[in-house]
Every structure is written in C-alpha cells, then in structure tokens.
Structure 1
Amino acid sequence: MSFTSTGNGKAPSGNSFLSTLSGGGLSSGIGMVADAAGMLGNAPGAGLIGGAARAAQLAQTGMSLLGRTPASIADAINGMPGAKSRLTQDSRFVRMESPLGPDVLLVNALVVDEYVSRLPEIHLDLLSHQSEIEIDKIVGQQVSVSLEPKSSGGVFSQLAAGPEIGQRYFQGYVASFGRVGHPGSVTRYEMTVVPWFWFLTRSTDCRIFQNKTAEDILSEIFVELGFHDFEFNLKSEQARLEYVVMYRESYYNFCARLLEQEGMFWTHRYEKDRHVLVIGDTNDLFKPLTPVDTISYYGASAASERNGIDRWDEAFNFRVGKITYRDFNYDTPSSPLMHVEVPTTLKNPNIGGTERYEYHSLYDHSDDGRRYARYAMEAEEAQAHRFKGAGFVQAMTTAGRFRLTNHPVSAYDDKSFVLLHVRHHAVNDYTSQGAEQPYRNSFTCLPVDVPFRPERRTPKPYMYGTQAAVVVGPKGEEIHTDGSRVKVHFFWDRRGKMDGSDSIWVRVSQPWAGAGWGGAAIPRIGQEVIVAFNEGDPDNPVIVGRVFNGEAANPYHGDGGQTMGIRSQTHKGGGSNELRFSDVNGAQEVFMHAQKDMNTVVQDAQSTHVVKGDRTILVSTGNHATEVSTGNMSEAVKGDRTTLVTQGDHKTQVDTGNMETTVAKGDKKLTVAQGNYETTVSVGDQSHTVTQGNTTQKSPAGVHTIEAKELWIKVGGAGGTSIHMTADAIELHKGSSTIRLDAAEIKIQAPNTHINPDNG
C-alpha cells in the first residue's frame, strides 16, 4: 500500500524550533511514525512494546523534536550546576501525576499511541532526583499525564494564546517501570502506562455464557473484574447469543474476538482522573473533537504549528469483490438459507472476479450469516480508502472526528473524517528554563461516510482432540433429554451448576442415524461422555462416545474381556434389559433378558434351529399362548413329545374346522390319574374308529354311563347284528329277525320263533 503525499516536504521559514518537525522532520513526512501508525495493520494484541523498541521510539521523539535524545538531556542536566533545581514541572509542557508525589518523576519524552480496536500504549522517558525509587512499588498504580499548551514561557503559549488549544490528558496504570543507565544527580527511568482493559490480558479463564447479548457478556465480565469505566454506544439491535465459550484464553482475547464477531469496535476516552472504554457499532461513536472540530491544512506554512496539520496523504487498497459464507444447520439441514453472499460496493477494476469463500460453524440462522458477512465486507471496504497525516492538533483522539478545511484538493476540503490511530510525541527540555515545549502527532483516518468495521483478527481457541464431560440434568432426574440431545458439564467449567443449565443441548453420535430409523442410546445423567467439536469450534460440541470410570464400571469387567453385551438400567427402578454374548471357549452363550415384557414381531418367516441339545420354554407364572391367525400349525417330533400340566387345565379348542390326531405307528394313551375325563361335541358328530385291533373300556370300580338321543350298536358289519335304542324303544336286529321292546309291548318277528325252547 502506498500513500500519495500532498505535503511538499520543505521546512518552514524562520528559525523556530519547529523547523525540524515539518515535512522532513519525521523522516520524509510521516516516515517511521507512519509505519507504526499503520492502517490498523497490527493485530489487536495484549503485549507491550519491547524495551529496546520503546527506547528507540522515545529517542526518536527527542531527536525529531529537539535534536537530542532523552539520554543526552539527562547527561546535560547532570553536568550542570544546580541540576536538581531544574527538576520541576512548573512551566513545563508535559506534566505527570503519580503516587510518588509532585516533581519526583518528570516527563523527559512522551510517546502515546491511541488506537481503535487495539490497546493504546503510553511510553514515557522520565527524570528524577531520586536514584533509589522502589520501582516495584509503583507498578500497577494509576498515573496521569497532561499536556499544558499554555505553560508559561512556552512556544505553544505564544502561538496558541487562545481557546483553541486546551489541556490534554492521558491516564492509566503502570505496566512496567525501570531505571535506565547509571544514576547521577539526575536518574532516568522508563515507564509504560496502559488502560484498565489491559489487565484483562493478565487473566485467563474457561467459562460459558448462554442466551446473552454481547453487551450483556462484556458488562458482566468488566464488572466482575472490578472495572466500571465503560460505555456502550450501540445503534443496531443486538442478537441474543445462544452459546459462547471462553476456553483457555485471556479475558482480553475473548472480549476482543467477541467484539469483532458482533461488528463492534472500541477505543478509549481520556479524562483528567480516569479513562473510559467506549464501545460502538456505527461511526456515531466518533464524537467531534473539542475544543475545535475543524482543522486547517497549512502545508509547509509555519501557521500549521498553531493547531493545524502540514501533511496529508491518501491511499487506495485493492480488497475483495464478494464475501460468501456457507454453513450447516442440523435443525434445517436442507435449508438453502445457510448460504449467503455479500458483494462489494467498490468499483475497482478486476475486483468483481475476486471472492472470499468461507465455510465455518459460526452461525446457526440465516439472519446471523447475512449479518456476519456484511460485517466482513464492511471491514474490507473500511480498509480500502485511508488517509494519513501529521501536524500539531493535540485534541486529536481516536474517539473523535474532524472536518478538514483549507486543503487545495477539493476532494478533501470541507470533508469529515474519523480518527483510527493517533500517535502523540512530546518532550520537555530541562536544559533550558522556560524553553520550547514541542509537540507533534501523526494519524490515520477514514472518511466519515465509510462505515468502520473491525476485521476479525483475534484468534478463536481451536479445540484439539476430544474432552471428557458428564451428562447433567435437573436434581432428582435420571434422564434429561429433548429426544435426541443431552446437556453436559465440562470439568473445566468452574461456574457450572450441574443442573442441566451448564450447556446447550448437545447432539449425541449414534451407531446409525436416519430419518425415522437408526440406533439410539441416550446418555443418562451422571454418565461420562467424550465430546468433540465441529471444526474445532468450542461453541459447537458433539458427543462422540461414552466411557466407564471408577464409579461407573463395566458390567462385564470380571469376565476377562470374554463377555460383551448391552445392559440397560430401569428408569427410577431396579433391574435391566440385557443382551449378552459370552465367548468363553466351550461355554459360548447368547443371553437375552427382558425385565418385564418381551415382544417379537416377524413380518414374514421365522425359523429357530437347535442343532444339538434341548429347547426349553418355561413360563414360571402366567399363560403361554400360540396363535396362528391365518394358516396352519405343524409340529414334527422324531422322538417323544410330552405335555405336562402340573396344576391347572389343558384345553385344546378348534373354533372352525377339524381336529385330527394320527399315530402312524405306536400307541396313543390317555391317562387321567385322578379326576374326570370328558369329551364334549357341542354341534356335530363324534367318531371313534379302530381299523384293526380291539377297543376296551373298563370301569372296574365305577359305573359306565352312555347318554344320547339315540344309540346304535353294530357288530359284524352289514350282515351282522345291531341294537338301536331310543327314548321310546329298544330294537334288536339280526337279518330279517327283529325284537322291539317299548313301554306297551314286546314284538318279535322272525322266520321261526322259539320262546323258552329248552324248557318246552
């Protein structure tokens, strides 16, 4: 990215100390300062600038503004008589307040970097008449720095003797403090000051937020950590986030990435006794600069030294033509709305053919996808057109906006801009009483009509591998599910209540899953499960396994691994259902147990084949019924068949049809040891045929009774003898001879009749 300069690089006329600060005074315009000012090019970070780099910055500031380094100033003071008397902040441009009291630490040189969506940094080179300050006692303390443009005798006082330039404050906490060089009458120290937001880089945690907006989450964190100086200036309706996980990261990292995700940006507003973190989502966050919001461009004119700017550079940057997001929502897996596209409004040549396509588990609903894609495109477009400048406007701050005037290029003149980065440089020259108090800044800005949006640069934790968790639910319950998902408690979650509120509903991997078919085994409360994370996203867990532990042991643990199976547990009761396989050599077994009922449905054929051994069906208590609704039932036994009813009845019923018992070879025996034997034919006939053999009926100690409407007894076939008995008569037939006996008479018909022939 290159910038087009609209400054001429010439030094202003006259012998002002500011002659070194014009176009070439900062190494070809913005030069080295511009590199650090950047285009928000550095990722938001929590680290402080290194000691060597910090010293180089402060030395550069001294050289640029006074032509001497802070170290050379300290050496010069040490070589002067009455050096300590010079160490006072009275009439000095840059002043400091610290817990050590007045005039203990005096600012030699100052560099301040203000940013949007990045931590600011305040670096000071300090002088003190005390060489043995307990440096560890001041770290973590609050200090403040002020710019006093109307300090007596100062050049700024002479140039800006009006209301246009007011005091400027910087405030924060000491993050590092150290002694530099060899102590003398005057000792040098270096200090780095940070905002309270920086303290969030020092604390890491693992926790879960549910069903809260980003503002809710951030406010909860800030207040919980003891910080209250923050403000929200949000114009867009905030989405409620169902599930947000902070995992093994600093609070700063978590807050920064959450702000970036939700399209919010932040900066700091400095006041005399405090600094405020301000958070917004539109350019309304940037307020007009005070006391003046109109800034004039003077080029190389010395007039710029009076609250103006003398350098203005512009650059365009090629970005991307379209952003496409795609994601999968298991609630609506076929929905086409999980694919969103946002084209750019930029008109650069060849930009239409470029695309940034991302597939990731960031959003669950199409509205979120469109919103996040729009944020990403606005962040791209905010990077496309930037301006850099340099000048003397102390009021410049990243919480502000200004209107540029007096610029020869009409495209810039009378246009408003928001400040994204400001670097302030200031020094005090203690070698001269009431000498110049020089100041200069450089800045990066954006046209106010271009919506600013931060890039998503803060990394989200990536969940490598799997984690152990325990299934949780309401107290007193054993199962807590919405049908296919459960809630879990992660062991790293110190705030989880283990009552079913610890997580979102988490899907459970099953051995088979389809639309109305598959395998299902829902983990129960207290079970340890193995959790993986889709795309490594901590916000997208899925249960991929279950494991035994010391309190939930394998039910087949004592079988040396030779037994496997499935054993359930009755819900809120005892007992279980079980399918078990034993692979013990010589004792292999398949065991099935139903704690109560067992139903088997076979849509077509069923076959049970016992190759060798016995088959036993035992109904200990209850009934055994075999029903063939349509079709036949056959039993074939190559040995004996025994039916034993030890107590109760044996009943065979044929509703419609015949009943036939055939003994092809052998005997049929029916024995009633005690009791009665009864055969009843309600409607129809009864036939008993012995084709070959005898029929014997015996009642040695009883009565044999035959009762019927009619009774026929036939002996000898068609030519034999028959007896016919009815309720009215008895008839005996043999050939043409008949004897009939009724209540009135006896009739005998025969070719010959003999009555008592032997007795004559």
Structure 2
Amino acid sequence: MNNYSLDLAYIEINSEKYLNVISYQEKLSLSSLPEIALEFLVEKKINIDEILYAKAAFVKNNLKITGFIGQVKQVTCSEKYYNYSVGLQHEVYQLNENRKSRIFSNITINDLIHTLFSKQGIAYDLRLNAAYNQEKIFHQYQETDWSFLSRHLERHGIYYYFDYSEDGKIVFIDDKSLHQLLTDKVFISNDFAEKRSRQCLILNESVFTVPNQVIIQSYNPLNAEQLLTATIQVTDHGHSDHYHYIAGAGSQEELERLGNVYAQSLGCLRHTYTLCGEIINVYPGKLINVIEQGGGKAPQKYLVYAMKVCGKQKATTLIQNEEVSPIYECSLYLIPADIQYRSKMSSTVPNIAGFIHASAHGNCDSEYAHLDDSGYYEVTLRANYEKPTPFKARKVEVFAGKNYGMHFPIKVGTELLVGFIHGYPESPIIIGSGYNSDHVNVVNSQNSYDHIIRSESGSEIRLSDQAGSAGFEISHPGYSLKVTTSRES
C-alpha cells in the first residue's frame, strides 16, 4: 500500500457534508451493482433511522458517486465522537426490492429495459449495436425486477456499467467497439526508478483453463419436435468439451446466437491482467492505455472490467492528536480491448414446478375456440399476476403427430393448467383444462357409470357401464343412435 496526497474524500447525506471520513472501500465491476462502504466520525449521535434511504453522494478526487444510504451501523463511540459505517447504494437497487409475477409479450429487450427503468425514473443509456427481435414472452415469476432483467440481459449478451463521468448513469452495452477511452494518459507499469517507486504501477497477468468448445442444446418451447444442437468454439487454447443446456431457444439461429454469447462469457476472462497502484478516477467500462517500462512495445489498450479501491485518511477535525497514516490502493482488472466481454449466465432462473392456473384468452364474441393458424392458443395466467397479459402456448395431447392426432378445442374463458418445459418460465405449455363450480363436470355422482365426450352444441358420445343397459350412444339434440348389450341366455 502506498501513501498519497490526494484530496480528502467526504460524504454528503441529505445535502449535509460529513468531512471526517476515515476509511472507504469500493468494489465495481461490469454487470454488477457497485459496493461502496465508508466509515466516518461525527461529534453528535445520529438517528440512523432518519438517514436510512436518504440521498447521498461520495466525493473523492472530483469524482462524485451518488445513490442512497442502504445500510447504517454504529461501529463505536468515544468521548469525542461517534463512529458510523454506511453502505452507499445506486438507485438501481430500487429494482431489487419487491418480488412479483407478471408477463410481457411481443416486446424487445430494449422495450423491457425502458419499461422497468422509466417506471422508477432511473436514467439509463442504451449503446447497442445488435438489432433485437420481439420476444413472444418475458415471464417474471416471483422475482425482483432486477433479478428478472439480469437473467435476460445475460441471455441477450448485454452487459452494463456505471458511468461516473455522467453522475453514475447506468449504461447498457453489447459490443466491444462501443467502449470509450477514458483518458489520453498512458499508464506506465513496472517502472522501478527510485524517484518514481512510491507511485509505481505493477502490472501482473493471469491465465485460466477454459473449454475448447461448448456444445449447446435446447428445445423450442413452441415447436419441440427435436433437440436443437450447436457447437461453438471458445478458444484455441482450451481443453475438453463443455456441454450446456439453454432452455427456450426458438430456432437453430437463436440457439447459435445464445451459444456464442455463452462461449464468449467463458472465454473472455481466460487471460486477464491486474494493474495496482495509485490510480484515481478510473472505473469499469472504460478503456485505458498501458505500457510496460522497458518492454519495447507500443502502449496496449485494455478494458477495465473490475476494480477495487481501499482508502484510509485522517479525520482532521476530530482526532488531530492521533497518528493516522493515509492509505490509498487501487487494483484494476483488465482484459485486452480486442476481447469481447460477456457476463456469465449466472443469474438464478426460477424453476416452475407443477402447474399454474390459467384461462384461455381471445375474442369473447366468437362462438368458437380462439386458435392461430398453427393451432396455438392465447393464454393468461391467473394467480398472483399483476394483470392478464396474453401469450401463446400449444396444448399437449395424448395422441399427436404429423398430419394425424386428436384435439378438442378450448373456448375462451375455460380454466387451464399450464406447465413449463424443464421448469423454464419462458417455455409454457397447456397441460389440460379443468372443471370448476362454473363449468360443471359432465360426469358426476348421478351418472358415475358413464364415460362421456360432449361438445358445447350437445353432440355426445356416451359409453355406459350401467348395469342392465351397458352400451354406447351417439346423439345430438333431436337425434340418437343407441346400442345396448344384454346377457346371452
């Protein structure tokens, strides 16, 4: 760790400055919410309930990190001061507070980001090169908004960082070419000249094993006729094959896109670098130039994908007589700028076990079932969902195949049971329909010996096991064909 003579850091809470910050730690990385913890001293005791959720800003070397107080703790106290630690959270944490279930259908991932962020009034920036298609369904199932969005960002290959040159605005990005150079300054590493030793930047490198290739498999939730498979190379320097199942790929083309995202997430951190020393006003998501002293090479461009900062300073107005050695240490974690970064698909995906109550949706004025040209129904889920947003699903049958099978159409409003292939929220399938108090069973205690198929118009096939008149009957109101059996003498 190195001594430093930088500007003193301080924190503002509800616009009031607290200058006696004695230590701070920062953990920032791509596609992770920032972790910032501080300790500071005050002369009078604070009502910690009053500052919890208060607007706050951490100011360090002209860099201002804004958010709100998400955690407060009194560490200790003395005759002169009270010592508090606080956790500073970005406003995006608001999306991580409430769990809910809801459906979004026929929108793009861009639309989903806008819907979630605009509702909370959170500023964001989309820097996306790819054109994203509409998704038939985004299914949020007992998840926070942030957990729900995170797993879909990872699936689409979109990652994010917080731009502290723009007051911490969150930036969504999907291409290495869109990262910006933070400064024209060239960071010189491993320069051990005596007069520079105090500020020497140490560059270390690491390499990790990764698979040579990944073999990705999936079923299309709307048309699971066969298992989709794609083989994607991760690196020329890998070993072995890695098999991975990704649920809900809608086509071979989509599976290959998902496979590329997954392979890049495994391979992007195979070869990494760490730059340590007195580095200020640098943060993940930006590019920097680094040259190794005496290496004989031109400056190399790197992407900062993570950083850690540890600082300690003297609380000048309260503990002037105590000896405190200021400390500042920063570690930047880098990958070469020509490597495409992707977040690992590590967000928890809800596994929906069993079935969910649903209803067949459609035009209530139609006297017939509401299906599309492929035979898919529109469905709305019932329990614990914010509003009945329809989505498409196919129906399981006991007998089905190409150009043959059976099907009994389901009319709008009928109660359904919907399951999910492999439990994946975006792969719904209709398991069957159910009777209830409004839609009474055609077989009950009065005719429990009958087996009945009856259409809404009254056409009926009845197979009866009733003693003395067992047989079958085919009927329609006003018409009947009945065959009964009798015991031969």
Is TM (by shorter chain) over 0.5?
yes
For residues 251-291 of structure 1, give each alpha carbon's deviation from its aligned partner in whole angstroms, at most 9, with x where no partner exists. 1111111111000111111248x32101101123432224x
**Equivalent AA in structure 1 for residue 174 of structure 2:** D
Over the aligned positions, Cα root-mean-square deviation in angstroms equals: 2.9
DSSP 3-state at the match of 1:268: strand
The equivalent position to 1:378 in structure 2, one of 251, 261, 264, is 264
1:226 partner letter: G
The structure-2 alpha-carbon separation of the partners of 1:204 and 1:590, relative to structure 1 and needing over 3 Å to count, comes to same
Amino acid in the other structure paired with 2:460: E
How many angstroms does 1:246 deviate by? Answer: 1.0
3-state SS in 1 of match to 2:16: coil
State the Cα deviation string for residues 647-687 of structure 1 (Å, max 9, x = none). xxxxxxxxxxxxxxxxxxxxxxxxxxxxxxxxxxxxxxxxx
**Could you tell me how far 1:347 is from its partner in structure 2?**
3.1
Q: Are the counterparts in 1 of residues 221 and 428 from structure 2 also a CA contact under 8 Å?
A: no
Aligned positions of 1:636-651 closer than 5 A: none
Q: In structure 2, do the counterparts of structure 1 residues 394 and 468 end up closer, same or farther at CA, with 3 Å as the change threshold?
A: same
Alignment of 1:304-319 (within 5 A): 309-319=200-210
Number of the residue aligned with 2:300: 415
Q: Secondary structure at the match of 2:104?
A: strand
Q: How does 1:327-338 map to 2 (within 5 A)?
A: 327-329=218-220, 338=228
| Superposition deviation, residue 471 in structure 1 | 1.0
- Equivalent residue for 1:279? 172
Counterpart residue number, 1:137: 50
SS at structure 2 position matched to 1:137: helix
Residue number in structure 2 paired with 1:472:
361
Task: Give the drift of 1:455.
Answer: 1.1
**Separation (CA, whole Å) in 1 of partners of 2:169 and 2:149:** 16
Letter matched to residue 473 of structure 2: F
User: In the alignment, is the contact (CA less than 8 A) between 2:68 and 2:90 conserved in 1?
Assistant: yes
- Does the C-alpha gap of structure 1 residues 305 and 279 become closer, same or farther in structure 2, counting only changes over 3 Å? farther
Partner of 1:111 in structure 2?
25
Aligned partners of 1:304 and 1:392 also within 8 Å = no
Within a 5 Å distance, the mapping from 1:192-591 to structure 2 comes to: 192-227=87-122, 229-271=123-165, 274-290=167-183, 292-301=184-193, 309-329=200-220, 338-348=228-238, 351=239, 354-410=240-296, 414-430=299-315, 431-432=319-320, 438-478=327-367, 479-482=369-372, 484-492=375-383, 494-497=385-388, 502-504=390-392, 506-559=393-446, 561-570=448-457, 576-591=458-473
| Superposition pairs of residues 683-702 of structure 1, within 5 angstroms | none
Deviation for aligned residue 1:140: 1.0
Q: Which has the higher strand share?
A: 2
What secondary structure does 1:551 align onto? Answer: coil
Distance (Å, rounded) in 2 between the aligned partners of 1:241 and 1:129 = 56
| Whole-angstrom CA distance in 1 between matches of 2:200 and 2:142 | 45
- Judged with a 3 Å threshold, the aligned counterparts in structure 2 of structure 1 residues 211 and 268 are, in CA distance, closer, same or farther, namely same
**Matched-pair identity in %:** 18
Structure 2 residue aligned with 1:159: none
Seen in structure 2, the aligned counterparts of structure 1 residues 135 and 474 have a Cα distance that, compared at 3 Å, is same
SS of 1:188's partner is strand
How has the CA–CA distance of structure 1 residues 321 and 254 changed in structure 2, closer, same or farther, with 3 Å as cutoff? same
* Cα distance change of structure 1 residues 237 and 609 upon mapping to structure 2, 3 Å threshold: closer
CA contact (8 A) 2:357 2:382 kept: yes
CA distance in 2, matches of 1:192, 1:503: 41
The aligned amino acid for 2:112 is I
For 1:303 and 1:563, locate their aligned partners in 2 and report how far apart those are by CA, in whole Å.
98
**Aligned equivalents of 2:194, 2:332: Cα separation in 1:** 19
Change (3 A) 1:610 1:529: closer
Q: 2:475 aligns with which of 593, 600, 610?
A: 593
Q: Call closer, same or farther: CA 1:396–1:303 in 2, change over 3 Å.
A: farther
CA distance in 1, matches of 2:382, 2:426: 16
- Cα 1:300–1:407, aligned 2, differ >3 Å: closer, same or farther? closer
Residues 271/490 of structure 1: CA separation in 2 closer, same or farther (3 Å cut): same
**Using the alignment, how far apart are the partners of 1:609 and 1:93 within structure 2?**
98
Shift of 1:586: 3.5
2:280 counterpart letter in structure 1: Q
In 2: Cα distance, 1:494 partner to 1:326 partner = 31
Aligned residues: 481
In structure 2, relative to structure 1, the CA distance for the partners of 1:254 and 1:174 (3 Å cut) is same
Is the 2:202–2:277 Cα contact (8 Å) retained in structure 1?
Answer: yes
Q: Is the 8 A contact 1:144 1:172 kept in 2?
A: yes
- Spell out the pairing of 1:172-187 with structure 2 (5 A cutoff): 172-187=67-82
Q: 1:578 to 1:92 in 2, by over 3 A?
A: same
Contact 1:530 1:545 in 2 (8 A): yes
After superposition, what is the alpha-carbon deviation per residue over 1:304-345, rounded to whole angstroms, capped at 9, x for unaligned?
578x65221111111111122233447776789x33221234
**Whole-Å separation in 2 of the counterparts to 1:609 and 1:200:** 67
CA contact (8 A) 2:218 2:246 kept: yes
Is the CA contact 2:232–2:259 (under 8 Å) kept in the aligned structure 1? yes
Q: CA deviation at 1:595?
A: 3.8
TM-aligned CA deviation for residue 556 of structure 1: 2.6
| TM-score normalised by the chain length of structure 2 | 0.90
1:391-441 CA distance string (max 9 Å, x none): 111021103111012433356x51011111111222221344998754221
Where does the alignment leave 5 or more consecutive residues of structure 1 unmatched?
Answer: 1-20, 23-64, 67-90, 149-166, 571-575, 600-607, 614-760
Taking a change above 3 Å as real, the CA distance of residues 534 and 102 of structure 1, as seen in their structure-2 partners, is closer
Using the alignment, how far apart are the partners of 2:406 and 2:86 within structure 1? Answer: 65
Q: Is the 8 A contact 1:530 1:547 kept in 2?
A: yes
What residue number does 2:10 align with? 95
Corresponding residue SS for 2:370: coil
Q: Which amino acid aligns with 2:189?
A: Y
Give the counterpart letter for 1:389 in structure 2.
L
Q: How has the CA–CA distance of structure 1 residues 294 and 611 changed in structure 2, closer, same or farther, with 3 Å as cutoff? A: same
Unaligned runs of 5+ in 2: none
- Aligned partners of 1:377 and 1:468: how far apart in 2? 37
Shift, 1:199, TM fit: 1.9
The alpha-carbon distance between structure 1 residues 299 and 541, as it changes in their structure 2 partners (threshold 3 A), is same
User: Scaled by the length of structure 1, what TM-score is found?
Assistant: 0.59
Deviation at 1:598, TM superposition (A): 8.6
Report the 3-state secondary structure (helix = DSSP H, G, I; strand = E; otherwise coil) of the residue aligned with 1:260.
helix
Alignment check: 8 A CA contact 2:48 2:72 kept: yes
Corresponding residue SS for 2:276: strand
Q: Distance in 2 between matches of 1:262 and 1:456?
A: 10
- Structural mapping, 1:596-635, within 5 Å: none
Cα distance in 2 for residues equivalent to 1:611 and 1:428: 101
Q: Distance in 2 between matches of 1:302 and 1:231?
A: 45
Q: 1:248 and 1:112 mapped to 2: Cα distance?
A: 31
Structure 1: distance between partners of 2:70 and 2:79: 25
Change (3 A) 1:435 1:317: closer
